[in-house]
Structure 1
Amino acid sequence: MKVLRTPEQRFEGLADWPFAPHYADIRGPEGVTLRLAYVDEGPRDGAPVLLMHGEPSWSYLYRHIIPRLVERGHRVLAPDLIGFGRSDKPASRADYTYERHVDWASQWLTGLGLQGVVMFCQDWGGLIGLRLVAAFPERFAGVIAGNTSLPVGAGSNPGFDAWLHMSQTIPVMPIGGILNMGTTRELTPAEIAAYDAPFPDESFKEGARQFPALVPITPEHGSVAENQAAWKVLEAFEKPFLTAFSDNDPVTKGGEAAFKARVPGARNEAHVILPGGHFLQEDRPAAIADLLDDMVRRTR
């Protein structure tokens, strides 16, 4: 396995990004060690809040949420998934599978020994993060899911189909431009540049290219059985499970219904629809921080 590592200077002077990186070594295939980067801010004894990003972003997506939670005394952790952000990037698309992503994230979570976690997950941050909840339900105190799903091969929608086609055919993948298209507010040039920073050229984007093709939208996709097993655990998950989807996302709109119907912990929650696009962390960071703070205080 060939592994690429984005030069550190690419991350210097990013807009609104004062957070120091932390690193964990992750076991990859073929005996390869991968470096996973993450943000870890706030007091060590604070309630752990886990922020899971998706495709094709990185923990920069949470830059306006992290300080709001730290100010309220919480410990905030935001990993960069392998292939994204400061984390290592396997150079071949074949190196990326759904199950490998779950394994890599699981190694990081268990390696830190986190307990009593409240998680916010969006996009692939949910496809992976909800698998973590299913694998280690005892480690989680509550979940907030926004603009995400846990698909089991039952099809897709026109919004996702359009994104899948674009991601697999566009010759140059404009990462920052994709983030800008997925928000209702206009990102600044500096913000767009920060989303481009992890990817010096197209060779660094194989994970970003592969993620859309890994979503198990047909019975023939990998990880259908594993996600079905995860749903069984979620269908017995009685801790708080709140949905906070946005009102302007053609990819995941309506996806909150499955969680509200199937997860016991969702029954008594005050579910919300937030104004915003697919990347609602960019559009409504204060509202998301408030929801997380409220859940931490309720579960503690």
Structure 2
Amino acid sequence: MIPVLLNYTTKSEQTLSCRVVAPDFFGFGRSDKPRQDAAYNFDLHRDAMVDLIESLNLTNITLVVQDCGGLIGLTLPITDPRRFKRLIVMNTTIGSGAGNSQAVLDWIAYISSTPDLDVADLMDKLGHHLSEDEKRAYRAPLPDDTYKGGVRRFPQMLND
């Protein structure tokens, strides 16, 4: 889920003048997804974001990145800085060149070696304490291991 917060409090009857574009990366949502793990790589995701920005001719962008999305999202303003006005960076990885901690390497190894990873159980283990309805929502787009290539490959991009 991608949260979008809007302030509807206004002293006039004017309409909102901004739009929100909230894409999800391939392999996570309910849309069609490649079935081969090798299809999921940094270039696929980054090129898709660049194409989206260009095809919608987005300007004056407030780019919000969170979690693993920062790995890709933070490279976008470098491509065409004229399109971007603000960055909001939350809970993400910023490459420093120092390499990953052993805990991150262990997490990547676990995700990569668990073909039928239950994403809802993983979120629960990370301390999110999901309700049964929330768990069903996490599981819905990923009914079996053939749909989980993006889930398996995305963490590996931290090491690529």
What TM-score, normalized to structure 1? 0.47
Contact 1:69-1:76 within 8 A present in 2 as well: no
Structure ranking higher in strand proportion: 1
CA positional deviation for 1:206: 0.8
3-state SS, counterpart of residue 22 of structure 2: strand
Query: What does residue 69 of structure 1 align with?
Result: 6
CA distance in 2, matches of 1:102, 1:172: 26
Q: Does 1:127 align with 2:64?
A: no
Q: Label 1:113 to 1:210 Cα distance change in 2 as closer, same or farther (>3 A).
A: same
CA positional deviation for 1:121: 0.7
Q: How big is each residue's C-alpha offset from its partner over 1:210-238, in whole Å with a ceiling of 9 and x where there is no partner?
A: 1111213xxxx3xxxxxxxxxxxxxxxxx
Q: How big is each residue's C-alpha offset from its partner over 1:223-255, in whole Å with a ceiling of 9 and x where there is no partner?
A: xxxxxxxxxxxxxxxxxxxxxxxxxxxxxxxxx
Query: What does residue 99 of structure 1 align with?
Result: 43
Unpaired stretches in structure 2, ≥5 consecutive residues: 10-15
CA positional deviation for 1:152: 5.7
Identity of aligned residues (%): 35
Query: What does residue 157 of structure 2 align with?
Result: 214
- Structure number with the bigger relative contact order (C-alpha 8 A, sep ≥ 6) is 2
- The amino acid across from 1:80 in the alignment is D
How many residue pairs get aligned? The number is 153
Contact 1:70-1:76 within 8 A present in 2 as well: no
CA positional deviation for 1:108: 1.1
Q: How big is each residue's C-alpha offset from its partner over 1:69-95, in whole Å with a ceiling of 9 and x where there is no partner?
A: 264644222112111203331111111
- Match of residue 137, structure 2, among 190, 194, 208: 194
CA distance in 2, matches of 1:195, 1:143: 28
Q: Does 1:163 align with 2:100?
A: no
Superposed, which structure 2 residues align to 1:114-153 within 5 Å?
114-151=58-95, 153=97
CA distance in 1, matches of 2:42, 2:76: 12
3-state SS, counterpart of residue 20 of structure 2: strand
CA positional deviation for 1:153: 4.5
Q: How big is each residue's C-alpha offset from its partner over 1:155-205, in whole Å with a ceiling of 9 and x where there is no partner?
A: 11133122112102224201122223334x422111121111111211000
What TM-score, normalized to structure 2? 0.84
CA distance in 2, matches of 1:138, 1:179: 37
Q: Which runs of 4+ in 1 moved over 3 A?
A: 70-74
